[in-house]
Amino acid sequence: MHFIGKDNIVFHCIIFPCMMKAYGDYIMPDNVPANEFLNLENDKISTSRNWAVWLHEYLQEFPGKQDVLRYVLTANAPETKDNNFTWKDYQDRNNNELLAIFGNFVNRTLVLTHKYYEGAVPAMTGLNEVDEAVVAEMNGYAATVGRLIETYKFREALSELMNLARLGNKYLTDNEPWKQIKTDPERVKTVMAVSLQIVAHLAILSEPFLPFSAHKLQRMLHFLFKGWNDAERTVLLPEGHVIGQPELLFEKIEDSVVAAQLQKLEDTKKANQLNAWKPADVKPVVSFDDYMKVDVRVGTILECQKVPKADKLLQFLIDDGMQKRTIVSGIAKYYTEPEKLVGKQVCFIANFEPRKLKGVVSEGMILSAEDKDGRLVLLTPSDLVTPGCSVG
């Protein structure tokens, strides 16, 4: 048996078997289940680019949530087409499926059993047609899930497991034992007994997908099952068996947790862009005469303030050695305390055609360098010079 990605199909189905047959002493694979590609937030997973969810980091940042990741990866398994892992989907599947369906049903059932019967399993007698239909459907899941696992349809098998949890959740909600306990306590015993058997079946059938949660649930039930074949029986928890105190199997994942993971990936993307940075191509050649037309000078900043209603613009008052001039520059993002620029010297184009920006006439252009991270840095002389000095 070889589990592979689709890019290795040719090697594992043709080349590798030929090598094994040529050697003559290997057991040949009788099946090669091949998955397609799983992407991360719409980008190809790459360990060299650090574009991945690293398991050791996940276990540190999400303690006790091994099964949540197993669940989401199985539910999104690229069995028939490329698929995508996103942190939003991770959150939704945990909150809306594991917590709201599986965990909610288990918790309600165990809590009510302790509330009504001090944790003792009631007798499953007096079944009506609805009860019998639910029990019959419950009994069929072991074969269905088992068959799908044996044929490597893990995503579909997980879906069927969740259908069993949905069956129990709906059955408990429809029968409303919290209401019937006052009018028909005998009926409630039957409802709770059926619900407990569904919980027990979930404790077995969930083990391939949610091993940590399955073992925790079995401990809560005070019943460690021998194996998969146990799920072929209807009654797994006998009458009078006392279950343990209920604990939450899953917990809500907040938006802030997802936002932190997305920020990690955004930081990775920025780091990759910085690592891949190369200088821009040199612009077309200009003549010396064209260069000499540009009058670059040094000026001293006398005043600097943000332009009202313009987040990107700073307004400078420059001493250019001849007269004061106003220049507007789009560097406010990189100099958030403009008053601290007063007294510094900058290089500017003195003969740049004046233009109006946000109602302010700008009489030149201050020069700055754009770093590889996009940050703009003012160009300044290394030593103080007389305002109005030419640069050339």
Q: Which of 314, 317, 316 is nearest to 332 (CA)?
A: 314
Give the contacts of 42 (CB within 8 A, at least 6 positions apart). 84, 86
Give the model's pLDDT for residue 136.
97
CA distance 70 to 74: 6
- What's the domain range around 4? 1-35
Q: How confident is the model at residue 2 (pLDDT cuts 50, 70, 90)?
A: low
Give the model's pLDDT for residue 36.
87
Same domain, yes or no, for 91 and 227?
A: yes
Tokens coding 178 = 């919290």
Give the model's pLDDT for residue 23.
85
**Mean pLDDT, the chain, integer:** 94
From 185, 211, 232, the end of a domain falls on: 232
Model confidence pLDDT, tens digit, residues 60-114: 999 999 999 999 999 999 988 889 999 999 999 999 999 999 999 999 999 999 9
Q: How confident is the model at residue 347 (pLDDT cuts 50, 70, 90)?
A: very high
Residue position matching structure tokens 């099952």: 225
The CATH code of the domain that includes 386 is: 2.40.50.140
Stronger pLDDT, 15 or 12, i.e. the higher one: 15
Stronger pLDDT, 44 or 10, i.e. the higher one: 44
Q: What is the mean pLDDT of residues 199-215?
A: 97
Same domain, yes or no, for 111 and 217?
A: yes
Q: What is the mean pLDDT of residues 273-281?
A: 87
DSSP characters for 360-375? EEE-SEE-EEE-TTS-
Is residue 1 predicted with pLDDT exceeding 70? no
Cβ count within 10 A of residue 204: 25
Tokens coding 256 = 């802030």
Residue 269: inside a domain? no
Same domain, yes or no, for 322 and 371?
A: yes
Asked if 152 contacts 31 with a C-beta cutoff of 8 angstroms, the reply is: yes
Give the model's pLDDT for residue 3.
62
Give the model's pLDDT for residue 63.
96
Give the model's pLDDT for residue 10.
84
- Reduced to 3 states, what is the DSSP secondary structure of residue 184? coil
From 210, 232, 254, the end of a domain falls on: 232
Same domain, yes or no, for 197 and 345?
A: no
Strands (E), the chain: 4-5, 34-35, 38-40, 43-44, 83-85, 296-306, 314-319, 324-329, 345-349, 355-357, 360-362, 365-366, 368-370, 376-378, 390-391
CA distance 8 to 295: 62
Asked if 62 contacts 69 with a C-beta cutoff of 8 angstroms, the reply is: yes
Asked if 28 contacts 20 with a C-beta cutoff of 8 angstroms, the reply is: yes
Regarding pTM above 0.85, the answer is no
Give the model's pLDDT for residue 24.
81
Stronger pLDDT, 4 or 75, i.e. the higher one: 75
From 232, 264, 297, the end of a domain falls on: 232
Same domain, yes or no, for 325 and 361?
A: yes
Q: How confident is the model at residue 332 (pLDDT cuts 50, 70, 90)?
A: very high
- Reduced to 3 states, what is the DSSP secondary structure of residue 234? coil
CA distance 50 to 54: 9
Same domain, yes or no, for 87 and 204?
A: yes
